[in-house]
């Protein structure tokens, strides 16, 4: 029971002190979440209240199922962009079909996460390599920021890739609305300054650093208040400034996602991508925060909690949610001790939904766009490109491909090509494993690469050490290498495969070894193995190879050479053996 | 030059003796190839002469470019089935569009092979694991045999999967033609007997074993001669026995494949699969035969040779060709010394095409079907299923999936699902690598798994040895494992990653290590590395990890423990540390 309901674990030791810490954190996160939830609904192309709905039920559900003590779930930038991309192809913004498709997307990705959780398929998220995720998030951040420009300029434009957006914005730039641009520039500028300057100012006023840090995070709320008041007071909405307008007040009502198989098939791929990418973001934040307090996060339980939260979001009229990075860090820094803080945040949002929505009538969309731009710029990490380039060109290739394809063709194509490329490059790398022809270091029992060391070898013996597990991508490599060696050097009578670095031999490599054994036999050469690891040997015993082997299996390479060649036959060789 | 034209190498030492050996082999292969080429054209749904055309130009071209001394290229069963499956969806059999699509398929797969050869992409073929190839060939053999039943029964039926074929044959079984069935059963029975019985009979007649072996391979020609004569003599073609009929005599004329982009896009996937599978078959046979004589095959040159042969096949009105297994073995056993034997075979086929086609008018299709059935039964290897099951369940899963999907949904779906599953299972396996918490064997400098050995550990030190390269599928596993260990055991002050089995660390795993370093620092724990391999360390130096590391990099685990814990602090532990 406790595995599936972590709430049973932490609620037993819930004290008055924990309560007050959770309440403080909840208050701060609520203030941060109100503008964010509206902004991300806007980004997803949905009515503003959908953002609020997605910030109530999912938070309560996560409090019950979540294993992280400080994770704050809700609408986030990248998932909102992916929602817009997936739903935008199916229906026009503002239609009931558009909203229905967004709800179905949350429902389906929730079901997928639940299924993955029960089947313990959390490892699937690992197939997204870090460079691919990092590249994807950087590219998403750029697209999101570009998509906000239409709100900042007050023009009509659209598109899901950077290319489409650029074209569309250029075509409509003459429609620019100057009061809107003023609000957009003010908000963006103010929030940029607030990220660092506000804290510095508050510190000068004598506030405690921690409090100043938290108050500085309320910049967006200040921007919302200022620009809403200005719009109301100056009647800017009559001068073309687009405002959020009427938000229906009242709590969300239970909703069923559209039961339309055709629709579900169409959104299956984006739902899976949202599920996996949302999960990766969630588990990264959750385990980072848990490790700081030496707590644990259960990766499979997080799948279940995030899945249930998304199903809950869909059934209360919301859209896909995940664990947000900056919000969770604020929650953690503000002292949240248990997932109950999330439930209290949900209560805060519910109160806002019930009573404060009329106050948001005059909130300009340009303000929300400015909020989003400043938030997503922290997602863009171009330094990662440089770091990855320095460390590994193949990882850099996967990262660059993800960024370019995402910018050029949209989020789904970007993720899929990044994942495919990183798997391909991995298989390519292991298909040409490092190997060394080895000889004996004179006077010792050690064997080393003949290209790097002064060693002794017997001309009749060809000892090759492969520094990689043997499996299908490199099975033929092994055959080619050994056949080439014996074709070039007719003196060879023994081939020894030195295997201390081989962690695994699959059925393909086994067949290659059997073929090598047979071919060498036909050519009058014996095949031997040495230094085979225990588990590898256990498995080989289940095959016919050991029985059919023309040579022997030696415990050490020294045993092998001692038996196969008398000392007198050895001679010094360094880099002479052709391979 | 010699790299791209192996003919320049072997032709210099071409003697009169080599010539006579090649001529004998060519004669035998020609006799074997005539019925096969007709039968495989039939299998591909093409006119009989297309099989002959595909057995002329490609053989001459391979003789120029091929690096194998004994490979016999031409139409083969599996590629013919794949051609039928690919082209059957696009046009009706017997139409010029059908023939055009088959020619385009040969052309496109030839171009793909050439491109792979020039780009040295031969390793792509390695992504087909042995169990997938073996399962695919077994399933193809079953489908091919089933597809022949309509010719044996003399009924109209069709389909590309076992399911479709079974349905279609059941629906038409009432149309059965008894003379056709008689010929089909006679041919099949005779050829079954000929495979073993004919050789035994010839040996009893006092023939030399080698000659008897080769003559026994001419069984199909005998069956062709007998049934053709019987059909002619008894006028069976007027009783519903379908015959090959008029084959246009004369050499093929230069052909251009249809230049239709839509068509090329549609056949791109099957062309790639035919290219890759044909190449895998070719290189397996070629390297097997080469190793027997201590010769070499150049895998990239084989791509070029096979690609040129396919382009040549297309431009002379033929369909996809590859290196055939049984035909190459016959060529080798009959004494072929150089690829010139293939060119002489081409001359033999050309003579047959010019002069003997009228003699094939009364050749019953049922005879060709019987030839195919007996030939493909040797492809079906159900024993491989049992052997693979015994050795590795994950390889067995890939193999079984390939067989079932091929039988149920056709050849393309079968190959694609087999390849995907074997890559997935490989990533899954490495995503949960073997690891051991290690301690010191008392009185030595050795460190062993604390679950298996009586070892000493210091409670403050957690030493973990990962027996796998660190890369994206297992990057999070490492984080989870270490975080779990320090969360369970608050005494730990040092984590040592013991790395002698790590051959590679990619950018994802590097980021995980950096995250672990940072999180452990926050929790007051130091991270150390020990026994890092040279190339891995070289790469790590290009990152910030070594500089940021809270702990040290030790050459040996003994150095690490000696420095971090005084001897007095150690205590005996066996399997006590919770992980």
Mutate to test the interface with B, among A302, A391, A394 (most CBs of B within 10 A): A391
- Residue B574: which of B489, B455, B441 has the closest Cα? B455
| Residues paired with A573 in a beta bridge | A455
Output the pLDDT for position A60: 95
Among left, alpha and beta (phi > 0; psi -120 to 50; other), residue A424 is alpha
- pLDDT value of position B574: 46
The predicted-structure confidence for A44-62, as pLDDT tens digits, reads as follows: 999 999 999 999 999 999 9
3-state SS, residue A84: helix
CB contact, 8 Å: A278 with chain B? no
The three-state secondary structure class of B146 is helix
pLDDT > 90: percent of chain B: 37
| Cα B395 to Cα A552, B401, B429, distances in angstroms | 26, 10, 11
Residue A124 DSSP SS3: helix
Place of tokens 């044959």: B169
Q: pTM for this structure? A: 0.79
Residues 6+ apart with CB under 8 A from A197: none
A486: which chain B residues are within 8 Å (Cβ-Cβ)? 291, 294
Alpha helices in A293-382, H assignment, sequence order: 299-315, 325-333, 340-355, 365-377
Closest CA–CA distance from residue B244 to any residue of chain A (Å): 41
Can you tell me whether residue A472 is helix, strand or coil?
helix
Contacts of A170 (CB under 8 A, 6+ apart): none
Neighbours of A351 (CB within 10 A): 11
Residue B131 has its nearest CB partner, among A391, A394, A508, at A508
Instruction: Return the bridge partners of A526, or none.
Output: A494
CA angle B23, B28, B30 (to 5 degrees): 90
Tens digit of pLDDT for each residue in B269-285? 999 999 999 998 888 88
Contacts with A, B 125-144, CB within 8 Å:
125-131
| Whether pLDDT at B569 is above 70 | no
Please give the Cα distance from B325 to B342 (Å, whole number): 14
Contact B472 A422 (CB under 8 A): yes
Chain A residues whose beta carbon lies within 8 Å of the beta carbon of residue B390: 542-543
CB B302 within 8 A of CB B42: no
* Contact between chains at A431 and B467 (C-beta distance less than 8 A): no
Check if CATH label 3.30.750.24 holds for domain A435-573.
yes
By C-alpha distance, the chain A residue nearest B422 is A472
Q: Is A547 near chain B, with CB under 8 Å?
A: no
Residues 312-331 in B contacting A (C-alpha not used; CB under 8 Å): none
For residue B546, list chain A residues with Cβ-Cβ distance below 8 A.
Answer: none
pLDDT of residue A470: 92
Set of chain A residues whose Cβ sits within 8 Å of the Cβ of B128: 472
Q: With CA atoms as reference, report the closest residue to A565 among A485, A541, A573.
A: A573
Q: CB-based contact (8 Å) between B423 and chain A?
A: yes
- Domain spans, chain A: 16-390, 435-573
Contacts 24+ apart (CB under 8 A), A378-385: A378/A326, A379/A77, A379/A78, A379/A137, A379/A138, A379/A140, A379/A141, A379/A144, A380/A138, A380/A141, A380/A142, A380/A145, A381/A134, A381/A137, A381/A138, A382/A138, A384/A131, A384/A134, A384/A135, A384/A138, A385/A135, A385/A138
- Taking only the tens of pLDDT, chain A with its 579 residues reads 667 788 887 888 888 888 988 998 898 889 889 888 999 998 999 999 999 999 999 999 999 999 888 899 999 988 999 999 899 888 988 899 999 999 999 999 999 999 999 988 877 777 888 888 888 889 988 988 898 898 999 888 877 788 888 888 888 888 899 999 999 999 999 988 887 788 888 888 888 887 787 777 778 888 999 999 999 999 888 888 899 888 888 888 888 888 888 899 899 999 999 999 999 888 888 887 887 777 778 888 999 999 999 999 999 999 999 998 888 888 888 888 899 999 999 999 999 999 988 888 999 999 989 988 988 888 888 888 998 999 988 899 999 999 999 998 888 888 889 888 988 888 888 888 888 899 988 888 888 888 878 888 888 999 999 988 899 888 888 888 888 888 888 889 999 999 988 888 999 899 889 989 988 998 889 999 998 988 889 999 999 899 999 999 998 899 999 898 865 555 555 444 444
- B447: three-class secondary structure by DSSP: strand
Interface ipTM above 0.95 = no
Closest Cα in chain A to B433: A503
Q: Is A359 exposed, middle or buried (0-12, 13-18, 19+ CB in 10 A)?
A: middle
Q: What would the two tokens of residue A45 be?
A: 């192309």
């Amino acid at each position: 029971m406790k595995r599936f309901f972590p709430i049973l674990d932490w609620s037993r030791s819930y004290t008055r002190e924990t309560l007050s810490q959770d309440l403080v954190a909840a208050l701060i996160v609520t203030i941060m979440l109100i503008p964010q939830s509206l902004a991300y609904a806007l980004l997803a192309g949905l009515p503003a209240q959908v953002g609020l709905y997605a910030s109530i039920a999912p938070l309560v559900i996560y409090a019950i199922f979540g294993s992280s003590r400080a994770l704050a779930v809700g609408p986030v930038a990248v998932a909102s962009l992916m929602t817009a991309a997936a739903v935008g192809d199916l229906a026009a913004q503002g239609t009931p079909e558009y909203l229905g498709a967004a709800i179905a997307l949350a429902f389906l990705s929730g079901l997928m996460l639940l299924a993955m959780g029960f089947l313990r398929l959390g490892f699937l998220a690992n197939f997204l390599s870090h460079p691919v995720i990092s590249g994807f998030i950087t590219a998403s951040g750029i697209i999101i920021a570009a998509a906000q420009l239409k709100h900042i300029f007050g023009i009509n434009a659209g598109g899901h890739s950077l290319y489409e957006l650029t074209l569309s914005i250029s075509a409509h730039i003459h429609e620019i609305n100057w009061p809107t641009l003023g609000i957009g520039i003010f908000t963006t500028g103010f929030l940029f300054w607030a990220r660092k300057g506000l804290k510095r100012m508050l510190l000068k006023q004598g506030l405690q650093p921690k409090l100043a840090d938290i108050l500085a995070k309320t910049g967006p709320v200040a921007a919302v208040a200022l620009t809403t008041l200005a719009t109301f007071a100056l009647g800017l909405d009559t001068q073309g400034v687009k405002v959020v307008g009427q938000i229906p007040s009242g709590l969300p009502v239970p909703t069923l996602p559209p039961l339309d198989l055709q629709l579900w098939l169409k959104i299956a791929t984006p739902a899976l991508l949202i599920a996996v990418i949302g999960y990766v973001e969630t588990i990264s934040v959750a385990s980072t925060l848990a490790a700081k307090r030496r707590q644990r996060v259960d990766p499979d339980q997080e799948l279940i909690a995030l899945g249930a939260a998304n199903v809950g979001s869909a059934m209360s009229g919301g859209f896909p949610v995940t664990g947000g990075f900056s919000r969770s860090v604020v929650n953690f820094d503000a002292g949240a001790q248990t997932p109950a803080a999330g439930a209290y945040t949900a209560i805060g949002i519910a109160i806002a939904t019930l009573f404060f929505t009329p106050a948001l009538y005059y909130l300009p969309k340009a303000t929300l766009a400015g909020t989003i731009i400043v938030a997503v710029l922290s997602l863009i990490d171009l330094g990662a490109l440089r770091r990855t380039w320095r460390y590994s060109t193949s990882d850099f290739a996967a990262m660059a491909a993800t960024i370019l394809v995402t910018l050029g063709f949209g989020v789904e194509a970007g993720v899929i090509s990044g994942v495919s490329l990183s798997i391909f490059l991995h298989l390519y790398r292991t298909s040409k494993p490092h190997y060394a022809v080895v000889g004996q270091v004179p006077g010792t029992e050690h064997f080393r690469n003949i290209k790097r060391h002064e060693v002794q070898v017997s001309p009749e013996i060809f000892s090759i050490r492969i520094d990689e597990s043997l499996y299908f991508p490199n099975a033929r490599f092994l055959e080619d290498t050994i056949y080439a060696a014996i074709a070039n050097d007719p003196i060879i009578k023994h081939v020894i495969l030195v295997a201390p670095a081989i962690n695994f031999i699959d059925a393909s490599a086994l067949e290659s070894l059997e073929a090598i054994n047979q071919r060498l036999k036909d050519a009058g050469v014996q095949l031997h193995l040495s230094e085979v690891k225990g588990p590898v040997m256990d498995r080989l015993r289940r095959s016919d190879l050991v029985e059919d082997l023309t040579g022997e299996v030696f415990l050490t390479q020294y045993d092998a050479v001692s038996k196969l060649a008398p000392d007198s036959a050895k001679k010094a060789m360094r880099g002479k053996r052709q391979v």
